[in-house]
Amino acid sequence: MALHPTVAAVRREVRRSLADLDPGAVVLVACSGGADSLALVAATVAERADSAWRVVGVTVDHGLQEGSTAQAARVVDQMAALGVDETVTATVRVEAGGLGVEAAARQARYAVLEELAQRFEADAVLLGHTRDDQAETVLLGLTRGSGGRALAGMRRGFGPFRRPLLEVSRTDTETACAVQGIEAWQDPHNDDPRFTRSRVRHTVLPMLEDELGPGVTEALARTADQLRVDMDHLDDLADLALADLALAALTDPAPIAELAVLPTAVRRRVLRLLALRAGAPAADLFHTHVLAVDALVVDWRGQRWIDLPGHLRAVRRDGMLHVERSGPAAADADQ
């Protein structure tokens, strides 16, 4: 009996994403109980037959909703019924701080998934983001003026993480679940207008589709793919430029003269890397920080220092750019 086209599409993308894994590889699949991640679990289990992958289903309980523990237990039962080799429930504590609930939950989720990947010696951790999620991410980045990195959307892979379903629509995952008799959970947060992504999903994108015609979602996702190639190339050039600086240690100062001659796009990426390697948290390091540090290099007018997240500051001193811990006293400016 032929597979339903949506089931076949999900399986095909999983197969492509994991084509490089050896037989017996350990694959973790993150599952919230929604249609996207349940379709991903089902496809991964189905595609392991020839490769004998060990599939571990993981659900993360953020504790943000009443009944979250019961929902996590339900997801575990569903993953077991779909045929995963092992199930795991991870409970995390979400502390919003200055990030907001959505960002803090995401940060906690990725942290615990990385821990589990190490514990299970996983070869891959699969995430169920779809083409619709990619389009929403691009649109959010555009409205926030977040630059090329945000417009390039979500990466298909980074570290142990892989996103096999970025070519698959949310409608397809919902249909794939329905035709396989899988009952997907509808997360109330996804419909809550207090959350920005929910408003983009249910109001902004449908309005754009109505006003501009169908295909906006696909176009936004396609834009991300096109920009990602450019962003990755520039990031590679920045890595090479940073290596050429031949710093003895990650926290060593960098020579202003060598930084200044780099192309602007590469130089600013190098400055971002210098801040990250000194300990600046990526989630809090914004483009405005990088621009301010860049001015120390190419538009220096006696600025004493630039405060950076993570209790750091960038200082121009003796012809060198220092990224160092903030102290009670300001450093002397370059003369």
Residue 330 has pLDDT above 80, yes or no: no
pLDDT at 97: 62
Q: Which residue has the higher pLDDT, 250 or 335?
A: 250
| pLDDT at residue 333, as a whole number | 46
Is the CB of residue 166 less than 8 Å from the CB of residue 134? yes
In three-state form (DSSP H/G/I as H, E/B as E, the rest C), the secondary structure along 112-131 is HHHHHHHHCCCCEEECCCCH
**What residue ranges of the chain are covered by domains with CATH 3.40.50.620?**
5-131+145-186
On whether the CB atoms of residues 159 and 144 are closer than 8 A, the answer is no
Place of tokens 């780099």: 262
Choice between 146 and 215, residue whose per-residue pLDDT is larger = 215
Class of domain 245-325: alpha beta
- Where do you find CATH 3.30.465.60 in the chain? 245-325
Question: Phi/psi class of residue 314: alpha, beta or left (left: φ > 0; alpha: ψ in -120 to 50)?
Answer: beta
pLDDT at 99: 57
Fold (CATH) for 5-131+145-186: Rossmann fold (3.40.50)
Is residue 18 within 8 Å of 57, Cβ to Cβ?
no
* Eight-class DSSP state of 283: G
For the chain, what is the mean pLDDT? 88
The pTM of the whole model exceeds 0.75 = yes
User: Comparing 58-62, 106-110, 287-291, which segment has the lowest mean pLDDT?
Assistant: 106-110
Highest mean pLDDT: which range of 37-46, 109-118, 204-213:
37-46
User: What phi and psi, each to the nearest 5 degrees, are found at residue 85?
Assistant: -80, -30
Q: Check residue 329 and give its pLDDT.
A: 44
Any alpha helices (H) in the chain, and if so which ranges? 5-17, 35-47, 68-82, 101-119, 131-143, 148-151, 170-179, 196-199, 205-212, 216-244, 256-260, 264-278, 287-298
16: its two tokens: 């492509």
